[in-house]
């Protein structure tokens, strides 16, 4: 059986794609040796070790961006729009004072509730970000916006929450497939930095509230 399929079926990861990603990143050991080939055939009696607890891929994406752009500090209150499997909220909760997550899909609710139960500084809302009552949130230091939407729609969602962002507060905005130029950035926000993903069709924008 392939290593990535084995890890998924044995419950090490929430999906096969997450298992494959972790293997490629060198986070899986087979009989004491790091294995980077998801297609490696195994019998099932090998000693398997997953480094880092098998976190969702979003955890490592945010970790990489935070290390590069210094997005999150220890006293920050963070909002994650589109929490999906919980990678962003997991990473942010390790650094920030408190993290709120909003996710529309019920598919991820069980996993997100487990993450919420394990950490005292996370609160998850299963709700529609287009309609969410923003009065439920305190003032924010950071907004993480990684939504599976067209960029224009994701900007529309983001604008609903920018009023809760403190002056000079930061935004990580992830655009899927399409680059947006400065004219697509809301006037209330300044673009601080921009980067294109090396291995995905994603564009990362670091914004700051004026």
pLDDT digits 0-9 by tens, 145-175: 999 899 999 999 999 999 999 999 999 999 9
Is residue 37 over pLDDT 90? yes
Cβ atoms of residues 201 and 177 within 8 Å:
yes
The torsion angles phi and psi of 203, rounded to 5 degrees, stand at -125, 130
Residue 86 burial (C-beta neighbours within 10 Å; 0-12, 13-18, 19+): buried
pLDDT of residue 54: 61
Residue 72: pLDDT band (50, 70, 90) is very high
Domain coordinates in residue numbering, the chain: 3-53, 57-209
Higher pLDDT, 91 or 60: 91
Torsion of CA 126, 129, 132, 138, to 10 degrees: 90
Reference 158, options 140, 171, 177; nearest CA is 171
Greater confidence (123 vs 14) lies with: 123
Residue 55 has pLDDT above 90, yes or no: no
60 is written with which tokens?
């490592």
Token pair in block for residue 65: 């961006």
pLDDT band at 71 (very low <50, low <70, confident <90, very high): very high
Fold of 57-209: Rossmann fold (3.40.50)
Please compute the mean of the pLDDT values over residues 33-43 and round it to a whole number: 92
How crowded is the C-beta side of 172, counted as CA atoms within 13 Å? Answer: 27
Contact 112, 103 (CB under 8 A): yes
Site of tokens 């996370």: 122
Does the predicted model carry a pTM greater than 0.85? Answer: no
Where does the pLDDT of residue 107 fall: very low under 50, low under 70, confident under 90, or very high at 90 and above?
confident
Q: In Å, what is the CA distance from 88 to each residue of 43, 74, 96, 172, 210? A: 34, 15, 12, 11, 25
Tell me which of 44 and 129 has the higher pLDDT. Answer: 129
> CATH homologous superfamily for 3-53?
RNA-binding S4 domain (3.10.290.10)
């Amino acid at each position: 059986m392939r290593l990535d399929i084995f890890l998924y079926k044995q419950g090490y990861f929430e999906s096969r794609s997450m298992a494959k990603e972790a293997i490629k990143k060198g986070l899986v050991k087979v009989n004491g040796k790091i294995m980077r080939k998801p297609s490696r055939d195994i019998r099932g009696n090998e000693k398997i070790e997953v480094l880092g607890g098998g976190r969702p891929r979003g955890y490592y994406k945010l970790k990489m961006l935070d290390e590069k752009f210094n997005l999150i500090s220890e006293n920050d209150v963070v909002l994650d729009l589109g929490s999906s499997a919980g990678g962003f909220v997991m990473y942010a909760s390790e650094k920030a004072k408190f993290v709120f997550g909003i996710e529309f899909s019920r598919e991820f609710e069980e996993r997100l509730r487990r993450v919420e139960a394990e950490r005292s500084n996370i609160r998850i809302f299963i709700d529609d970000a287009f309609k969410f009552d923003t009065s439920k949130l305190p003032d924010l230091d950071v907004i993480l916006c990684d939504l599976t939407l067209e960029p224009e729609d994701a900007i529309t969602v983001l604008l609903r929450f920018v009023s809760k962002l403190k002056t000079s507060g930061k935004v990580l905005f992830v655009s899927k497939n399409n680059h947006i130029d400065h004219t697509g950035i809301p006037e209330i926000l300044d673009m601080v930095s921009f980067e294109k993903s090396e291995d995905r069709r994603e564009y990362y924008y670091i914004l700051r509230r004026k």
